[in-house]
């Protein structure tokens, strides 16, 4: 069996050791979901992407250390960056990925990578029992997107000071919890944090797919179609967004941190 090439890429950043790290594994043949889940648990990053060429597009699947997910922005950005930077694909042409969320297209735009994703609008809703208590905060708005609970706070200072009770958050029946506020920095339109202990990630460094909801929410409030968000995790990361009726284009940069391959014992 040929070796399986793997890369670790920091996404939504222009420098190493920031943004959100993702593992990218390039497959030559189909693999069982249980094996992919074991590899993702071994990598122990918020997402591991598995990429396999099928005709003129790539099959793309994403796994956290615990579960397979339907949509992931930073690991998609990392996958396209790996294919282009390693010379596997030409950056002059878009890359098409077939995923659990349909076809996703990635395009190189200077030093930015643009990801064409489905919008996940936010609908106002009552907070699930225990959500605000687990976040230990008050909210100016609570809603829900296709995947996540959504909480808006009045200030960036409050958002940055959050110290959630992750044990209690794990009981919330959603992929994760998006918490957002207006930005105090004029370089950004909004800031956010993302918590997903039920998926094995207490706090995700930068969550591209969450911006499919954030773009819809803040675009409506600010009257804008193009915005820049900052995810205020410890590592931090910048996500450019452009929204339309049912799509969101996410823009970000990426940096390869290391290259390697799975040992034969782990590949079989």
Q: Which residue has the tokens 């590899």?
A: 39
The yes-or-no answer on residue 47 being catalytic is: yes
Q: Classify burial at 81, counting beta carbons within 10 Å of its beta carbon; exposed 0-12, middle 13-18, buried 19 or more.
A: buried
Q: Which residue has the tokens 């609908």?
A: 123
- As a whole number of angstroms, the distance between CA 200 and CA 211 comes to 20
Q: What is the DSSP letter of 125?
A: -
- As a whole number of angstroms, the distance between CA 228 and CA 191 comes to 9
Number of Cβ within a 10 Å radius of residue 119: 18
Q: Which of 47, 89, 156, 203 is catalytic?
A: 47
- As a whole number of angstroms, the distance between CA 268 and CA 257 comes to 25
Active site residues: 47
């Amino acid at each position: 069996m040929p070796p399986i090439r793997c890369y670790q890429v920091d996404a939504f950043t222009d420098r190493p050791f920031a943004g959100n790290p993702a593992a990218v594994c390039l497959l030559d043949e189909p693999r069982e979901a249980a094996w992919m889940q074991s590899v993702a648990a071994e990598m122990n990053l918020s997402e591991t992407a598995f990429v396999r060429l099928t005709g003129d597009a790539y099959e793309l699947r994403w796994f956290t250390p615990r579960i397979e997910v339907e949509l992931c922005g930073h690991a998609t950005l990392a996958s396209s960056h790996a294919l282009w930077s390693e010379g596997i694909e030409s950056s002059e042409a878009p890359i098409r990925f077939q995923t659990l969320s349909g076809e996703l297209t990635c395009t190189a735009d200077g030093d930015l990578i643009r990801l064409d994703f489905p919008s996940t609008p936010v609908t106002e809703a009552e907070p699930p029992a225990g959500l605000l208590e687990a976040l230990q905060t008050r909210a100016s708005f609570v809603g829900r997107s296709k995947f996540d609970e959504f909480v808006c706070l009045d200030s960036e200072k409050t958002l940055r000071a959050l110290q959630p009770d992750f044990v209690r958050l794990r009981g919330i029946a959603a992929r994760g919890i998006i918490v957002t506020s207006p930005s105090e920095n004029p370089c950004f339109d909004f800031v956010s944090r993302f918590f997903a202990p039920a998926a094995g990630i207490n706090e995700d460094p930068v969550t591209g797919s969450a911006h499919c909801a954030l773009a819809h929410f803040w675009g409506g409030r600010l009257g804008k179609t193009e915005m820049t968000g900052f995810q205020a995790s410890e590592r931090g990361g910048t996500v450019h967004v452009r929204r339309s009726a049912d799509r969101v284009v996410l823009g970000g940069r990426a940096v390869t941190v290391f290259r390697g391959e799975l040992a034969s014992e782990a590949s079989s």
